[in-house]
Structure 1
Amino acid sequence: MGHLVYGGTMYEFEDRLLAHLQVVVERKLMKMECFFLTWHPQCLADTEMSVWISPHSPIAFHFSGSREPKISKAWVVALNAISHTSRGLMAISEEDAVKYLRENPGVR
C-alpha cells in the first residue's frame, strides 16, 4: 500500500490506483487547477473522504512496491474525464473505469 501525503496527513491507497491518481493529479496541477479528490478508504466501510487539492499546497506520493506499476491509458482517461465533473476526481477501480468508458463512449 502506498500513501498520498497532503496537508500533513497520510492517506493510504493501493499502489496501482495511487500511480494512476498521480498521473491525473500531476496533469491537473500543471494546469493550475484546484479540485476535490474523493475516495472510499478500505479501512472505513461506507465512508467517503474528500480533500481539496490545490497547486499551492505540497503533495507527495509514496509507493510501497519495488516495481513501478503499469499505467493503463483507459484508466487514466476515465479518471481524467471524471475529474471534470462536479464531484471532482473520484478514485475508482480499473474495472469501474472500463465500465465508465463503456457507458460514456464519447470520452477519450
Structure 2
Amino acid sequence: MGLLFYGSSERPIRIPDRVLAHVKVVIATKLRRGESFTMSWRHPDDEEGGRSTIWIQPSIPLRFVFGSIEPEMLDPALLQSFANSANSSSGLTIDIDADASADAARSSSRPA
C-alpha cells in the first residue's frame, strides 16, 4: 500500500501502489504544465468519513511513498483514463477500494 502526503498534513492518504504510480504520473504531468485540478476518492470502509477531495496545485507539497521496492508497471489505458478524468471539470476521481482488492489479489499470488 502506498501513501500520498499532501501539504503539511502528517496523515497520509492510503492508495494502492499500482494506483499511486499512475496518479503520480498524471499529477507530475499536470503540474509540469502549470495546471491545477482536484483529486477525489471514497474512503475505504475501514476509515471514517465518506469521501474526500483535495486541490492539487504547484505550491502545495506532495510526497509519494510506495510500499514496494520495485516500480509498478504502468498501464497506458489506465494512465489515459486518469489523465482524461483529471482534465474534466470534476477532476481526477480514483476508486481506492476496487484497486486495493486487485492489489491484495496480486500480492497473494506472488511467490514468497
Task: State whether TM-score is above 0.5.
Answer: yes
The structure 2 residue matched to 1:52, chosen from 50, 55, 59, is: 55
Identity of aligned residues (%): 29
Paired residue for 1:5? Answer: 5
Counterpart AA for 2:35: E
Secondary structure of the 2:83 match is: helix
Query: What secondary structure is seen at the aligned counterpart in 1 of 2:38?
Result: strand
1:69-89 superposed Cα distances (whole Å, 9 cap, x missing partner):
110000000000011111101
Matched, 1:41 2:24: no
Letter in 1 for 2:2: G
Report the TM-score when normalising by structure 2: 0.76
- What TM-score, normalized to structure 1? 0.79
Q: How does 1:56-95 map to 2 (within 5 A)?
A: 56-92=59-95
How far did residue 48 of structure 1 move? 1.3
Unmatched 5+ stretches in structure 2: 100-112
RMSD: 2.0
Higher relative contact order (CA 8 A, sep 6+): 2
Count, aligned residues:
95
| Runs of 4+ in structure 1 over 4 Å off | none
